[in-house]
Amino acid sequence: MANVGRMHDWFHSYFSEEHRTVTLRTLAGRTMYLTVDPSNVEHILKTNFHNYPKGQRVHSVLQDFLGDGIFNADGETWKKHRKVASVEFSNKKLKQMSLHTFRLDALRLLHLLRHHTARPLDIQDLLMRMTMDSLCKVGFGVDLGNLSPSLPNATFGSAFDNVNAVIVTRIINPIWKIQRALNIGKERFVKANIKILNTFTWDVIQKRKADIQDGEIIEAREDLLSRFMKYNKGKDGAYSDVELRDSILNFMIAGRDTTAVALSWFLYCICEHPHVADKIYKEGLDVLGLQENHQLDFEEVAQKLDYESLAKMHYLHAALSETLRLYPPVPRDGKTVLKNDILPDGTHVEKGAQISYVPYSMGRMKFLWGPDALSYNPQRWLRDGVFQPESPFKFSAFQAGPRICLGKESAYLQMKITASMLLHFFKFSLVKEHTVKYRVMMVMPIANGLYVHVSPR
C-alpha cells in the first residue's frame, strides 16, 4: 500500500531489457503478470485475443460505474457495442459535428485565457472542463457550459472525477464489496457520486425519448445518444435505456478524461521544452499560409483548422505522440487469463490470473526507444519531416487489435485543434513552486492540477 501513490514508477522499477515480463502477488494472494514486451502485447491483444478478456473481476469493479458498456464488456455484449460504435464513429456527419464542436470549445478556452493572463491558473482544470463540454455535446447533445466566463461549479464533471479517483482503489482493496454493502468509507462517496451521474444521464435519455415523438427533432440531431436511438428503430437487439446509459458513460470516460489528460501533459512537456512550442507555432504559420505579424483573430484561425490542414501538421502530431509515449492517459491495462497459456517470451501464465501490459513503462524502455528513451524528443517520430507511426504493440496508448480505440482519430483531432490554437496565440510557463506529478486513477492526470503562467504570443 505504501507504493500506491507512485504505482506506475513502482511497476516500472521491476522492468529491464532482461526482465520484460514480471510476476507479482497481490495482497489478496492473486497472481498478476506485467509485461512490456511488444510480442507479448500482440499475443494478448490480437493473436490470442479471446483468451484475454477484461474478465469478471474487472467487470465487477467497474459495474456500477460503467455497467456493460464497451469499455467494461466482453463476449457478445462487447461485440454488439463494438459493431454499432464502429458504424457511428465512421459517420461523416458525426465527424463534422466533432470538428465544429472541438473548434468552438477551443475558442471558448482561448477567450477565457485572454482574460486570465494576470495570474497563474490551473490549465488542466480548464482542459477537463473543455473536454467535458465537448464530449457532452457530441455524446448527449447537451451543452454544460463548463467554460462559461464565471467557471460554474462543474457538478457532473466533478462527480465523474470523484468516481474515477476512488473506484480504481477497488483493485487493491479486498473488502470493497463489504464497504459498499455497508455504505461506509470511500464506497459511500462512490455511491453518492454515481447517483449524480445517473440522475443526469437518465434525465437526458428521458427527454430525448420524448423528442422521438417529433420525428423531425430526433432526425436532425447528430449526437451519439440520438444516433443510437435512431439505430434502435425497427431493429432486433435494440438498445435498452440501461444500455444507452452505459454506452454514453463509457464514451465519456474513453474520450473526455484521456484527451484532457493528454493535453495537460503535452503543455507540461512544452513548458519544459519551449523550443518545441516555437516549432509548432512556426509549422502552424506555414501550413495555414500566415505571416508572423498577421492580424487574424481567434475565430479566423479556427476556421482554417480543418481535416486537411491539420493532417499537414506533422511536427504537432509528433509532439503529441511523444507526450503519449511518456505520459499515456491509461498507464496500465489489465486482462484476465481465461486458460493456461505460454506467452511468446516463454512466460507461462495461469488460468484466472490478471495480466497487464504497461504503456507507461513501455514508453520508457531503452530497448524499445533507444538510449534517450526518457527524453522528450518529437523528432524521433519524423522522417524527412513526415510523421512515421509506430507499431500499436510498441506504442500502445490507444490499445491494439480488435479492441483498438475507436476514438483515436477523434482524440488526435481535438488535441491538434486545441494545441495548435493555444500555441498560436499564447506562451506558457510553469509556476516554479508547483510540483508536477501524476495521480493514480483509471487515467493518469497531473496531481493537484497544472499551474501555469499564460502570456500573449
Please check if 405 is assigned to a binding site. yes
Grid coordinates belonging to 275: 523550443
User: If 0-12 CB within 10 Å is exposed, 13-18 middle and 19+ buried, where does residue 155 land?
Assistant: middle
Q: Are 20 and 28 in contact (CB under 8 A)?
A: no
Helix ranges (DSSP H) in 312-407: 314-326, 359-362, 366-369
Torsion angle, alpha carbons of 388, 394, 399, 403, to 10: 100
Q: What CA–CA distance (Å, rounded) separates 272 from 123?
A: 15
DSSP conformation class of 389: P
DSSP conformation class of 457: -
Nearest CA to 269 among 174, 375, 129, 118? 375
Grid coordinates belonging to 158: 466533478
Query: If you search the block for the grid coordinates 474520450, which residue do you land on?
Result: 255
Q: What CA–CA distance (Å, rounded) separates 186 from 166?
A: 7
DSSP one-letter string for 211-250: HTTSHHHHHH--SHHHHHHHHHTT-TTPPPHHHHHHHHHH
Angle, in degrees to the nearest 10, between helices 408-425 and 123-139:
140
Q: What CA–CA distance (Å, rounded) separates 354 from 414?
A: 33
Residues belonging to the binding site are: 405
Residues belonging to the binding site for heme are: 405
